[in-house]
């Protein structure tokens, strides 16, 4: 007998993009490239997957909420993300059990690294209850997953210990300025920098394997903070990374003249503190790593705009409501939630793995490379989804 969990057509949904000015109905937003799931397909063998450009799927970002207590203007500008913004209702969000089930299936297909993100992930109550089962997962070669969290740090002072005890290994804190006035202006909710710094201290005390700080550099807004941040984290073991301001989403009014190329960032830092290049630690690493020549630690630059790294992009993103996005600049995602909910058993697991394999094998996204080449961009990318929804 054939159950509904063994024969389902694929479901491809538009992303929940939020347009810059005019409201556009979801039905009008571009769709993910169609893919075909063969109804009679056997589940794929556990093992690595490769997309159409030969890129493996090793890295999964999981957005656990589309909400945030900050309103960084490069990500969730206040005018758009106001009290009337249609955030996801609770019932639409994947439960921790559903996320953990999917994560286990992704690990069977080669995922080695999982990062919890959002929105602000620490707004999701009891996040440590999700960390614990994820920490128990293993890669195909039997190692624990590289399990991390990206947070704005606002709640980290209270949560660091519980997260570490639950098995979280790495934490990345976003911090765009050391100067309190600049920081409050950038988060746009008047949040003091001292509380984020206290969160980083708490993370250091909790003993995470690796703590990173991400600074998004916007020319003319916070580039004067590059050296103060470098000075602050030198010699602490915390790795500071400078990220180019990106044209993600459709609401931040991105302009190329506000991007400070990572080569300029490096030039500024190295004038104050000589640097030597470091080897990448893993294939597909987005950051170029540099060490302080005097041994005071390392920094990274992520040239997302000026140095496209699509050729090695092995990352997928799972939105809060269970859609799989294959590129940060996608305008639609592949619905996994319906299948997840309808088919809770082994047959459902097999079908889900089949779906993952089918989706990944058809992937050919390389938005940043195409943008850098200056040619036409894939249809619909002007209406791409917001980063706070699919997870940064
Ligand atoms: N709220 C958490 C945080 O801020 O760390 C996690 C989600 S946030 C979307 C993830 C990362 O995306 C942050 O480091 C943030 O700075 C970065 N980000 C958001 N919008 C960006 C943009 N337009 N350009 C570059 N990075 C951006
Ligand atoms: Fe919130 Fe993070 Fe986006 Fe800032 S970057 S608005 S903290 S989700
Ligand atoms: Fe990956 Fe898309 Fe970014 Fe290229 S543009 S590196 S494919 S997420």
Q: Write down the pTM of the prediction.
A: 0.91
User: 216 CB under 6 A from ligand 1?
Assistant: yes
- Alpha-carbon span 260 to 374, nearest angstrom: 19
Q: What is the overall mean pLDDT for the chain?
A: 88
pLDDT value of residue 66:
96
User: 320 CB under 6 A from ligand 3?
Assistant: no
Residue 25 pLDDT more than 80?
no
Percent of the chain past pLDDT 70, that is, above it, reads 87
pLDDT value of residue 56:
97
- pLDDT tens-place string over residues 108-141: 999 999 999 999 999 999 999 999 999 999 999 9
User: 154 CB under 6 A from ligand 1?
Assistant: no
pLDDT value of residue 168:
98
SS3 breakdown of the chain: % helix, strand, coil, rounded to 5?
Answer: 30, 15, 50
User: 312 CB under 6 A from ligand 3?
Assistant: no
User: 211 CB under 6 A from ligand 3?
Assistant: no
Q: Distance from the CA of 117 to the center of ligand 1, in angstroms?
A: 9
Indicate the range of 41-50, 126-135, 200-209, 354-363 predicted with least confidence: 41-50
- Alpha-carbon span 388 to 263, nearest angstrom: 27
pLDDT value of residue 6:
55
Q: Distance from the CA of 192 to the center of ligand 2, in angstroms?
A: 15
Residue 272 pLDDT class (50, 70, 90 cuts)? very high
User: 156 CB under 6 A from ligand 1?
Assistant: no
SS (H, E, C) 167-219: CCCEEEEECCCCCHHHHHHHHCCCCCHHHHHHHHHHHHHHCCCEEEEEEEEEC
pLDDT value of residue 354:
94
Domains of the chain in start order, with CATH, are: 52-390 (3.20.20.70)
Q: Which residues, judged by CB distance below 6 Å to any ligand atom, belong to the binding site of ligand 2?
A: 68, 70-72, 75-76, 118-120, 152, 174, 388
Q: Distance from the CA of 109 to the center of ligand 2, in angstroms?
A: 30
Percent of the chain past pLDDT 90, that is, above it, reads 73
Q: What is the DSSP letter of 146?
A: E
What mean pLDDT is predicted for residues 88-104?
97
Q: Distance from the CA of 387 to the center of ligand 1, in angstroms?
A: 7
Residue 22 pLDDT more than 90?
no
Q: Which residue has the higher pLDDT, 377 or 259?
A: 259
Residue 3 pLDDT more than 70?
no
Residue 375 pLDDT more than 80?
no
User: 74 CB under 6 A from ligand 1?
Assistant: yes
pLDDT value of residue 10:
46
DSSP state letters, 275-339 = EEE---SSTT--SEEEEETTSS-EEEEE-TTTS--GGG--EEEE-TTSEEESSTT-SEEEE-HHH
Q: Which of 304, 309, 368 to mutate to test the pocket of ligand 3 (most atoms within 8 A of CB)?
A: 368
Nearest ligand 3 atom to alpha carbon 368: 5
In 3D, which of 58, 206, 193, 67 has the Cα closest to residue 128? 206
Q: What is the DSSP letter of 122?
A: G
Q: Which of 18, 67, 68, 391 to mutate to test the pocket of ligand 2 (most atoms within 8 A of CB)?
A: 68
pLDDT value of residue 388:
82
């Amino acid at each position: 007998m054939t159950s509904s969990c063994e024969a389902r057509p694929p479901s491809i949904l538009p992303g929940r993009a939020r347009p810059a000015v005019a409201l556009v109905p979801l039905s009008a937003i571009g769709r993910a490239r169609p893919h075909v799931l063969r109804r009679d397909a056997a589940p794929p063998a556990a093992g690595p997957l490769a997309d159409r450009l030969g890129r493996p799927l090793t890295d999964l970002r999981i957005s656990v909420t589309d909400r945030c207590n900050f309103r960084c203007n490069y990500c969730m500008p206040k005018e758009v993300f106001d009290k009337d913004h249609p955030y996801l209702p609770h019932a639409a969000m994947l439960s921790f059990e559903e996320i953990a089930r999917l994560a286990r299936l992704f690990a069977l297909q080669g995922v080695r690294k999982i990062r919890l993100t959002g929105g602000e992930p620490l707004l999701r109550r009891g996040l440590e209850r999700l960390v614990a089962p994820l920490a128990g997962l293993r890669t195909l070669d039997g190692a624990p997953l590289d399990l991390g969290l990206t947070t704005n740090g606002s709640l980290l002072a209270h949560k660091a210990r519980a997260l570490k005890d639950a098995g979280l290994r790495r934490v990345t804190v976003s911090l765009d300025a050391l100067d309190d006035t600049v920081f409050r202006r950038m988060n746009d909710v008047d949040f003091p920098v001292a509380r984020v710094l206290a969160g980083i201290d708490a993370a250091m005390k909790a003993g995470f394997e690796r703590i990173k700080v991400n600074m998004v550099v916007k020319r003319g807004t916070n580039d004067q903070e590059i050296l103060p941040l470098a000075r602050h984290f030198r010699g602490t073991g915390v790795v500071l990374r400078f990220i180019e301001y990106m044209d993600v989403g459709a609401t931040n009014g991105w302009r190329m003249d506000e991007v400070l190329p990572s080569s300029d960032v490096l030039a500024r830092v190295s004038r104050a503190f000589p640097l030597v290049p470091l080897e990448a630690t893993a294939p597909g690493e987005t950051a170029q790593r540099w060490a302080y020549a005097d041994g005071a630690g390392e920094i990274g630059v992520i040239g997302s705009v000026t140095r496209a790294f699509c050729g090695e992009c092995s990352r997928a993103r799972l939105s809060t409501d269970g859609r799989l996005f294959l590129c940060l600049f996608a305008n639609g995602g592949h619905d996994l939630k319906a299948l997840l909910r309808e088919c809770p058993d082994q047959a459902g697991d097999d079908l889900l793995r089949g779906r993952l394999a089918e989706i990944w094998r058809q992937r050919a996204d390389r938005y940043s490379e195409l943008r850098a080449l200056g040619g036409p961009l894939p249809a619909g990318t002007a209406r791409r989804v917001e980063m706070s929804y699919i997870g940064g």
